[in-house]
Amino acid sequence: MAAEELPSEFDVVILGTGLAESVVAAAFSRVGQRVLHLDRRSYYAANWASFTFNSLLTWIQQHHEEPQPEELHDWSSLLEEGEELIYLSNTDSTSVRNLQVFCFTSEEGEEAEAQSPDAPNTTEEVSAGDAVKETSETESADSKYEETNQKPEEEEEEEQASQTEGEEPEADQPTPTAAQSQSEPTKKKISYAQLVKEGRRFNIDLVSKLLYSRGSLVDLLIKSNVSRYAEFKNVTRILTYRHGQVEQVPCSRADVFASRQLSVVEKRKLMRYLTSCVEETEEQRAYNGRPYLEFLCDQQLGNNLQHFLLHSIAMVTEDTPTEEGLASTRHFLRCLGRYGNTPFLFPVYGLGEIPQCFCRMCAVFGGIYCLRHSVTCLLVEKETNRCKAVIDSRGQRISCSHFVVEDGFVGADRKRLATPTRFLSRAVLITDGSILPSNSDQQVSMITVPPVAAGCPTVKMVELCPSTMTCMPGTHLVHLTCQSVGSAFEDLSPVVTRMFRTPQSHDQEKNPSVLWCLYFNMADGSEVKGHDLPSNVFVTFGPDGALSHEHAVSQAELIFKKILPEEDFCPPAPNPEDIIYDGENTSTGGEEEQSLQTEE
């Protein structure tokens, strides 16, 4: 595993391994372009990444440290006649901010013994975790709430406190009573030490999105055969929050009929509405430009149905125009039933898998991958204003015809900022139970939370169960997302306090407890900005606040089409069964396969 030199000539050099960059990489590599794909980070997927609990803690820590301004090396010696240098930004400190961490569970668990590095019989621990699961209701007394009295302004210290406390259990080992806790199902909350110990069972996404079953990402995954690298689960239910209650939203025919909260009249009305809105009518057109809410009101649907249709099915706000509300209602309905009873899919192991899958496709077709490796500057030919080559972090000159770079690596001075960057507010909660317990404890839920008070944002919430492989048994992972009004804590903690049990909440005995949570703001990638880089340099933008992945997929396709307008975007890769090796020439079966070079 000795360090090798990179080849020095490529068609496309790509910096950043987020979704858009990874799709671009796969697309180019697939049609025979030589691709070099780099990321300065030590992990894939940039701000789209998923982390184990422990690597998330590292990520948090990194974002708390002052970014070390790297020494700008003068590479002008590598310049050739008629070239100039453009330095890229070497710190990506601007896209994530306001991190706040709270731990509401006891630091050391009854199983602190299991801290020893090679703890045997993990399976038993798992079942112990399962036993703990339904236990939370009875006790909260033994949890420590050290951090909760502190104010948000003290976030730095607070964060450090939680970091160091996390390391403590190893130092002062309390008398372990592991056997005891396994034999008798005492009502013990999962401790922080257990979260750390089972940390690799978590895959915590930085972004929270879902795949629409007929959305462009699903289409692309299938079209390109990248889908073979990933598995998915259906989102099993759509929930909403109103009058202080979590309710299930009936959205399929079966749901509507099975619903116990709807009256017979409501059921009929809802079915009639859903059937009628598929076709565009004169009546609907008359409402163009007027709020969808107004249209819904005039349909005489009643408050229940109106809430479901506006917030959970169209997922729009009260002032969204009718045509937009209807369009998203239709999209929702079109996506029902393709894979399951809701329109949404979620990838097993988390969303961070998707960029990795596209990277693999790129690598399979010869793309070269190198993490912990960056580009420090571009070599631009003055006369043509084109980027001829890049200089990597080791000072190697690598020539390329095109350069694709994630927004975060482009210095602020190069961007034309029309408006200040908007941010998304995010919260990640590890809880000890589902927000709406049901027969099955393996539900994946999409929850829409209308503004809890005037001026508050609409919050999208996704609750994941352990079978999605994103959290340890006995826990659920909850993602909250909204457009920032204030800091993530200011925007989202009111919702968390209302819907979950935290030290701040009152009379929430039945709600699941928050064991650990993280708040942070991330730059909203949908803010498209211009740049004054050479014309063969393409800038991709990070995750946006939408639930879908349309934005990243369309960015990637646009870049590909600009560079190679004649080529097919992500044609299907051959199936393994269709590749026939016969030494001399290689033929492939399948109808849509392009020419394929394998071995010589």
Partner 1 sequence: MAIRELKVCLLGDTGVGKSSIVCRFVQDHFDHHISPTIGASFLTKTVPSGNELHKFLIWDTAGQERFHSLAPMYYRGSAAAVIVYDITKLDSFQTLKRWVKELKEHGPEDIVVAIAGNKNDLGDIREVPMKEAKEFADSIAAIFIETSARNAVNVEELFQKISKQIPPLENPEVESNDSFKLTRQPAPSYRRCC
Q: Is 144 in the site for partner 1 (CB under 8 A)?
A: no
Pattern 313-342, partner 1, x by CB under 8 A? --------------------x--xxxx-x-
Torsion of CA 303, 308, 311, 313, to 10 degrees: -150
Pick the stretch among 80-88, 150-158, 448-456, 572-580 that binds partner 1 (CB under 8 A): 572-580
Residue 358 and residue 26 in contact, taking contact as beta carbons nearer than 8 Å: yes
Q: Is 119 in the site for partner 1 (CB under 8 A)?
A: no
Q: Is 596 in the site for partner 1 (CB under 8 A)?
A: yes
Minimal CA–CA distance to 110: which of 191, 196, 201, 198?
Answer: 191
Q: Between β-strands 402-406 and 12-15, what pairing exists: parallel, antiparallel or unpaired?
A: parallel
**DSSP of 373-413:** --EEEEEEETTTTEEEEEEETTS-EEE-SEEEEEGGGS-GG
Shortest distance, position 268 Cβ to partner 1, whole Å: 13
Shortest distance, position 302 Cβ to partner 1, whole Å: 19
Q: Which two tokens stand for residue 279?
A: 């076709």
Q: Give the C-alpha separation, 308 to 45, whole Å.
A: 34
Q: Which one among 78, 79, 327, 364 touches partner 1, defined by CB under 8 A?
A: 364
Q: Give the C-alpha separation, 140 to 405, whole Å.
A: 48
Size of the site for partner 1 (CB under 8 A): 66
Q: Which two tokens stand for residue 14?
A: 């790509």
Q: Which one among 232, 241, 409, 569 touches partner 1, defined by CB under 8 A?
A: 232
Pick the stretch among 69-77, 320-328, 507-515, 581-589 that binds partner 1 (CB under 8 A): 581-589
Helix/strand/coil for 183? helix
Q: Give the C-alpha separation, 108 to 166, whole Å.
A: 9
Minimal CA–CA distance to 544: which of 555, 558, 531?
Answer: 555
Smaller CB separation from partner 1, 183 or 587: 587
Pick the stretch among 304-312, 314-322, 536-544, 591-599 that binds partner 1 (CB under 8 A): 591-599
What b/e readout covers 375-387, taking b as 16+ CB neighbours within 10 angstroms? bbbbbbbeeeebb
Q: Which one among 161, 327, 348, 558 touches partner 1, defined by CB under 8 A?
A: 348
Shortest distance, position 336 Cβ to partner 1, whole Å: 5
Compute CA distances 545 → 257, 312, 541, whole Å.
Answer: 33, 16, 12
Q: What is the CA radius of gyration of the chain?
A: 26
Smaller CB separation from partner 1, 224 or 484: 224
Q: Which helix H or strand E contains 35, and what residues bound it?
A: strand 35-39
Q: Which one among 75, 87, 145, 349 touches partner 1, defined by CB under 8 A?
A: 349
Q: Is 254 in the site for partner 1 (CB under 8 A)?
A: yes
Q: Which one among 78, 86, 363, 436 touches partner 1, defined by CB under 8 A?
A: 363
Q: Which one among 149, 300, 576, 591 touches partner 1, defined by CB under 8 A?
A: 576
**DSSP of 276-291:** HTTS--HHHHTTTTSB
Q: Which of residues 5-64 bind partner 1 (CB under 8 A)?
A: 6, 44
Shortest distance, position 491 Cβ to partner 1, whole Å: 31
Q: Which one among 249, 357, 390, 404 touches partner 1, defined by CB under 8 A?
A: 357
Beta-carbon contacts of 572 under 8 Å, excluding residues fewer than 6 positions away, are: 223, 224, 225, 590, 592, 593
Pick the stretch among 148-156, 188-196, 359-367, 412-420 that binds partner 1 (CB under 8 A): 359-367
Q: Is 274 in the site for partner 1 (CB under 8 A)?
A: yes
Q: Which of residues 450-479 bind partner 1 (CB under 8 A)?
A: 467
Shortest distance, position 324 Cβ to partner 1, whole Å: 20
* DSSP assigned state of 460: E
Q: Which two tokens stand for residue 484?
A: 């920032």
Q: Between β-strands 402-406 and 537-540, what pairing exists: parallel, antiparallel or unpaired?
A: parallel
* DSSP assigned state of 224: H
Pick the stretch among 63-71, 267-275, 302-310, 525-533 that binds partner 1 (CB under 8 A): 267-275
Q: Which helix H or strand E contains 520, and what residues bound it?
A: strand 514-523
Q: Is 581 in the site for partner 1 (CB under 8 A)?
A: yes
Q: Give 305-357 as a 3 state SS string.
A: HHHHHHHHHCCCCCCCEHHHHHHHHHHHHHHCCCCCCCCEEEECCCCCHHHHH
Q: Which of residues 190-219 bind partner 1 (CB under 8 A)?
A: 200, 218
Q: Is 558 in the site for partner 1 (CB under 8 A)?
A: no
Smaller CB separation from partner 1, 542 or 574: 574
Shortest distance, position 464 Cβ to partner 1, whole Å: 13
Q: Report residue 120: phi and psi, to 5°.
A: -75, -175
Q: Give the C-alpha separation, 62 to 79, whole Å.
A: 34
**DSSP of 483-502:** E-SS-HHHHHHHHHHHHSB-
Q: Is 145 in the site for partner 1 (CB under 8 A)?
A: no
Pick the stretch among 147-155, 227-235, 418-426, 471-479 that binds partner 1 (CB under 8 A): 227-235
Q: Which one among 148, 183, 245, 275 touches partner 1, defined by CB under 8 A?
A: 275
Q: Is 271 in the site for partner 1 (CB under 8 A)?
A: yes
Smaller CB separation from partner 1, 307 or 373: 373
Shortest distance, position 1 Cβ to partner 1, whole Å: 5
Q: Is 370 in the site for partner 1 (CB under 8 A)?
A: yes
- Amino acid letter, residue 257: F
Smaller CB separation from partner 1, 125 or 491: 125
Shortest distance, position 448 Cβ to partner 1, whole Å: 18
Smaller CB separation from partner 1, 485 or 581: 581
Question: Which residues here bind partner 1, judged by CB under 8 A?
Answer: 1-2, 4, 6, 44, 122, 200, 218, 221-222, 227-234, 251-254, 256, 271, 274-275, 278, 333, 336-339, 341, 345, 348-349, 353, 356-357, 359-361, 363-366, 368-373, 467, 573-574, 576-577, 579, 581, 583, 588, 596-600
